[in-house]
Amino acid sequence: MAAPIIRRALLYVPGSSKKMLNKSRGLNVDCIAYDLEDSVTLGKKAEARQSLRHLLEQPRAAGIREQAVRINSVESGLALDDLQEVLKSPHLDALVLPKCNSASDLHFVTDMLRQALPSRHPSSPASPSNPIRIIALIESAKAIQNLPAITAASPYLSGLIFAAEDFALDLSLTRTPGLTEFLYARSAIATAARAANLPSTIDLVCTAYAGAQAQKVLEEECANGKGLGFNGKQVIHPSQVEVCQRAFSPGEQEVEWAVRVVVADEKAERAGRGAWTLDGKMIDVPVVGKARAVVEKARVCGIDVEGVWERWGDQEPE
Ligand code: COA
Ligand code: MG
């Protein structure tokens, strides 16, 4: 069985920085995207490809759940060289595809994956434990218009990412701290990912990573993204990882509520009650479904659900 996908934080590490590549191996993070795109200058691309290939040949670091490479966009003409190098790496889990503007960008990468790694097709019977995945960056007006075609373009697609800087450039829009100028695009992305049943929807980078206000700004952005339906966030600095992973995990009270609902629902069901009450609020099928999802997510996030279960094992429906 493939491990459950969870990308509360997706950390970019420039493929051209030996120092940061080394540093990344000691981090605890859901997803690392080793970058070959914008953090690597044109003159350093070939060297960075080699470094990443070497890095992904080493045994996996214990704290990294998923190792991805952000290749260059298909339109750049560099993606083929990137893929030819990194697809040889045994420990590559996913590709991050920037500037995914239409279905054809995904078709290009999909065809390469089918040919280079047939046993890692998501529905291959040969090796279902480590399918390779694609996470697509949505960063232009055209991409927003093409979302339904993009989400249907590849069986490898596992998530969408909103890239604010390139999107702002494309639309010549003015950024504000409240992020209202991105509301339509972010909401469209979260909705499209959900409609296509993609496991992850990853929100914009918070570029303010240092200084007294940085953590507060990041926490607010996480809460804002979570409210729109995102389940993770891109980060650029190790100091941002923990904040995002906490923010996109179920909170203590949420887990407690969810366990109480699931425990009491088993009893309600035995008593033949489809709708019942907890803390004065009605509980019925969709609410129980949400509670079960919270419990499952909490387990994947490493939260001690069984401990909470022991405390609330006597919960009765009201
Ligand atoms: N991945 C791994 N390690 C990182 C890192 C990253 N993204 N960002 C910083 N570090 C390391 C530093 O090397 C340093 O290591 P040390 O403790 O061994 O000295 C430590 O974390 C603290 O870093 P700090 O000095 O605060 O930052 P910096 O000035 O070295 O780097 C940036 C700041 C913004 C240049 C750097 O974080 C970065 O390049 N981030 C990624 C940018 C990127 O990929 N952009 C494209 C996608 S949007
Ligand atoms: Mg970009």
pLDDT exceeds cutoff 80 at 1: no
Nearest to 258 by CA among 226, 301, 302, 290: 290
Strand 29-35 with 64-70, pairing: parallel
- Domains by residue range for the chain, with CATH: 9-247 (3.20.20.60), 252-311 (no CATH)
* Residue 37 near residue 15 (C-beta atoms within 8 A): no
pLDDT tens string 37-95: 999 999 999 999 999 999 999 999 999 999 999 999 999 999 999 999 999 999 999 99
105 is catalytic: no
DSSP label at 318?
A: -
C-alpha distances (whole Å) from 292 to each of 200, 261, 268 are: 18, 8, 15
* Global confidence as pTM: 0.94
Residue 297 Cα to ligand 2 middle (Å): 29
Confidence of residue 124 (pLDDT cuts 50, 70, 90): confident
- Catalytic residue (one of 105, 203, 284, 304): 284
SS3 of residue 34 by DSSP: strand
The better pLDDT of the pair 31, 119 is held by 31
The residue to mutate among 35, 215, 237, having the most atoms of ligand 1 within 8 angstroms of its beta carbon, is: 237
pLDDT score for 4: 81
pLDDT tens string 168-221: 999 999 999 899 999 999 999 999 999 999 999 999 999 999 988 999 999 999
Residue 174 CB-density burial (10 A; 0-12 exposed, 13-18 middle, 19+ buried): exposed
Per the rule left: phi > 0, alpha: psi between -120 and 50, beta: everything else, 179 is: left
Distance between CA atoms of residues 204 and 9, nearest Å: 11
Residue having the nearest C-alpha atom to atom 33 of ligand 1: 237
Question: E-assigned strands of the chain?
Answer: 9-14, 29-35, 64-70, 94-97, 133-138, 157-162, 200-203, 232-235, 276-278, 281-283
Q: Residue for token digits 């429906």?
A: 317
